[in-house]
A and B are shown apart, each in its own frame.
Chain A
Amino acid sequence: MPNMRLTKNPMPSQEPNVRNKNFQEVTLGYTDEMALDEAQRCLNCKNKPCVSGCPVNIHIPEFIQKVAAGDFEGAYQVIARSSSLPAVCGRVCPQETQCEGKCVRGIKGEPVAIGRLERFVADWHNSHATVQTITAPKNGHKVAIIGSGPAGLTCAGDLAKMGYDVTIYEALHLAGGVLVYGIPEFRLPKAIVQKEVDNLKALGVKVETNMVIGRILTIEELKTEYGYEAIFLGTGAGLPRFMNIPGENLKGVYSANEFLTRSNLMKAYRADSATPIQHAKNVAVVGGGNVAMDAARTAKRLGAENVYIIYRRGMAELPARKEEIEHAEEEGIIFKTLTNPVEILPTAVTDPRDPDYGWAAGIRCVEMELGEPDASGRRRPIVKEDSEFELPMDCVIMALGTSPNPLLKATTPGLDTQKRGEIIADENGLTSLEGVYAGGDAVTGAATVILAMGAGKTAAAAIDKYIQSKA
């Protein structure tokens, strides 16, 4: 008999006023008992709407039935057939709009906690299992993956399981892409990302860091000199946007990418890191997505007294995950919605030799109201007349979204892109160059981890088909 309780098993987590002073993971994960109990809530329904809500189509009821039976490793093997990064996705997917959004139990009450169960299974496997995932025998074909973010890691994992000789090229000194430089430790512990990368290495995937493709080697050279039969571009969308308002180049104004890279990748929050970061008193984060929430919560943990999210639409329009918004509110982040910055104000000009001269000292904003829906169906924010006001601010973080980095386009003749730099690829990920595939944010512009993984998966299947058709 299934467990008909209407609510999910709650997730144990650190107290808000404790966790907003440390960088340890906020949520602590289910115990065996909680997982067994939650798994009983799944009705194992025949038409499985949850599976269609998952971009990589994990066999959700099948793995949950294994959990309910206490076969945690069996559950992991079910997930592993579809996903290479379950410990990551269980943590960072927006389940409310994906698998859990489609769950039948969600019609009356809360859906089954699919994400929490996936995370439980992956963590259990990573701390208990000794069994290797089974891979096909080596087939002697070489594939290069450019970029080690979620798209590249997934594509590499799938191809390695099929028997390909896979090498990942990464520009930074650590593999993981946004999982290591973007998403903070308190949401996604870096040890978990490292473990997933190690799992790939155990499948025979080679990871070459410090390799800026385009500069150190070109796509053409990888094909002709190094004999890669196919190449997957999973280079993401890492180029930050700014508002182009006065004062944006003052000291104390960061892109969210810079602020988070200093904190996450370079560990600037730790005393033993050589990388500095500003410990500000009043911080404004401009934007309303997950990156804005991550930057605001990081600034709070670095000791800021007041941290504001400044967003031009309303609370209901915030694009961030619901859980992240709730966590941010609990931790004391102040939401100033329907507000838009127009200028960042500098410290007063006293003596040009004063080292403090040139810092941000405040932010000037206008209030907004929502007008008629625009072409995208979202209500357009309009400036309210005579609504200007100022807030003191010694740090401003711009989290306005990102575009694909122009480097690859500039150094790869024949690679077609959109106006903003997104690589043009067909539904299988094939670009304008033969044997060159692309996926993830490099194609779509900034999106989610799981969509990037889905694109990596699709491209892996297409690459396999392409190479087999030539052989």
Chain B
Amino acid sequence: MFSIVEKRRLNDSMTLMSMEAPFIARKAQAGQFIILRVNEYGERIPLTIADYDREKGTITIIYQKVGKTTLLLDTLEVGDAILDFIGPLGKASELEGHKKVAVIGGGAGCAIAYPQAKALHNMGVQVDIIAGFRSKDIIILEEEMRAVCDNLYLMTDDGSNGHKGFVTAALQENIDNGANYDFVIAIGPLPMMRAVCNLTKEQNIETMISMNPIMIDGTGMCGGCRLTVGGETKFACIDGPDFDGHKVDFDEAMKRLRTYGEQEAEATREFNCHLMEGAKNA
């Protein structure tokens, strides 16, 4: 069992949680992920390691409430425990050898982009963070991101924070103004990562993205997370989750991500019904 030692609501849909997991905390590196299972009937879901504290022996995750399992996880409080917490999984990001990097996060993807930016910043690399959100009430980690970069460009789709537009608009503007990035990291929804890759391909800037396909075991034994990268089949859980964004088949990845769409929607509806019943009975 893995005890929850911190829980913080970041906005209406996103929560930060830290677990006691000393073995994983000793080894975790930026870019790696964990798989968790809340209870005996639970499914295994992957979540990126957002932060770790080797001394306290804790791992921090940030999740968006998108369906049954994340809603269930969100019913737990500090002092509760989850059944299974497995990691660190995946390859650590290869961040060596860059001078000036644009780290781009989209929505919940900022939770994954943040540790990457932090690692680069601690290596002495010049880092610009471009973070995109739908509107200003769902902005997360603003202070944390600001602390680990040279410039933070905070964009909202609706301009509710004063900087209207997608992350690609900010990236294009910085490039036009001579930002001279030698590396771009983009993490967020697939359409956003694809848009960034289209832009950086034109500009010939090497771009790394973090893929988020469906996973079951996370250790390479099933291929549920397979992707086509440069014409070859790769397993995101052992070959990634980071890949060269200019080589990923986005179209295929988007389709595969929707495999269980109907079953997921049904499970979420049922879960919400039970929650309401519970509230009535209480």
Determine whether the beta carbon of A216 is less than 8 Å from that of B261.
no
Residues on the A chain within 8 Å of B262, using CB: 355
B211-225, CB < 8 A from A: 216-217, 219-224
Residues on the B chain within 8 Å of A252, using CB: 259
Determine whether the beta carbon of A211 is less than 8 Å from that of B83.
no
Which size class do A's interface residues fall under?
A: 35 or more
Query: B24 in the interface, Cβ–Cβ < 8 Å?
Result: yes
Query: B64 in the interface, Cβ–Cβ < 8 Å?
Result: no
The proximity string for B residues 203-239 relative to A, scoring 1 for CB distances below 8 Å and 0 otherwise, is 0000000000000110111111011100001000010
Query: A255 in the interface, Cβ–Cβ < 8 Å?
Result: yes
Residues on the A chain within 8 Å of B43, using CB: 266, 273-276
The proximity string for A residues 225-261 relative to B, scoring 1 for CB distances below 8 Å and 0 otherwise, is 0000000000000111010100011111011011001
B18-35, CB < 8 A from A: 23-24, 27
**Whole-angstrom distance between the Cβ of B227 and the nearest chain A Cβ:** 8
Determine whether the beta carbon of B216 is less than 8 Å from that of A210.
no
Determine whether the beta carbon of B220 is less than 8 Å from that of A215.
no
Residues on the A chain within 8 Å of B221, using CB: 181, 238-240, 257, 261, 405
Which size class do B's interface residues fall under?
A: 35 or more
Residues on the A chain within 8 Å of B87, using CB: 212, 215-216
Looking at chain A's contact residues, the main secondary structure is loop
The proximity string for A residues 45-60 relative to B, scoring 1 for CB distances below 8 Å and 0 otherwise, is 0000000000000000
Query: B60 in the interface, Cβ–Cβ < 8 Å?
Result: no
Given A211-B23, A251-B259, A357-B255, check contact A273 B86 (CB 8 Å): no
Given A217-B23, A261-B222, A407-B220, check contact A274 B89 (CB 8 Å): no
Residues on the B chain within 8 Å of A27, using CB: none
**Whole-angstrom distance between the Cβ of B15 and the nearest chain A Cβ:** 19
Query: A172 in the interface, Cβ–Cβ < 8 Å?
Result: yes
Determine whether the beta carbon of B84 is less than 8 Å from that of A171.
no
Residues on the B chain within 8 Å of A216, using CB: 23-24, 27, 87-88
Find the A residue at minimum CB distance from B256: A251
Query: B118 in the interface, Cβ–Cβ < 8 Å?
Result: no
**Whole-angstrom distance between the Cβ of A170 and the nearest chain B Cβ:** 10
Query: A419 in the interface, Cβ–Cβ < 8 Å?
Result: no
Determine whether the beta carbon of B24 is less than 8 Å from that of A406.
no
Centre residue among B68, B219, B263 by max chain A CB count within 10 A: B219
Given A216-B24, A240-B223, A273-B41, check contact A407 B84 (CB 8 Å): no
Find the A residue at minimum CB distance from B85: A210
Query: A470 in the interface, Cβ–Cβ < 8 Å?
Result: no
CA–CA, A267 to B69, complex, Å? 16
Determine whether the beta carbon of A248 is less than 8 Å from that of B216.
no
Determine whether the beta carbon of B224 is less than 8 Å from that of A258.
yes
Residues on the B chain within 8 Å of A209, using CB: 84
Query: B7 in the interface, Cβ–Cβ < 8 Å?
Result: no
Point out the residue from A172, A254, A272 that lies within 8 Å of B217, measured CB to CB.
A172
CA–CA, A50 to B24, complex, Å? 48
Determine whether the beta carbon of B220 is less than 8 Å from that of A405.
yes
Determine whether the beta carbon of A173 is less than 8 Å from that of B224.
no
Point out the residue from B85, B220, B252 that lies within 8 Å of A239, measured CB to CB.
B220
Query: B98 in the interface, Cβ–Cβ < 8 Å?
Result: no
Interface pairs A-B: 3 shortest CB-CB = A358-B255, A238-B221, A258-B222
Can you give 20 contacting A-B residue pairs, CB < 8 Å? A215-B87, A216-B87, A238-B220, A240-B223, A242-B223, A242-B226, A242-B233, A249-B252, A250-B255, A255-B222, A257-B222, A262-B216, A276-B260, A355-B261, A358-B252, A358-B255, A358-B256, A405-B219, A405-B238, A407-B220
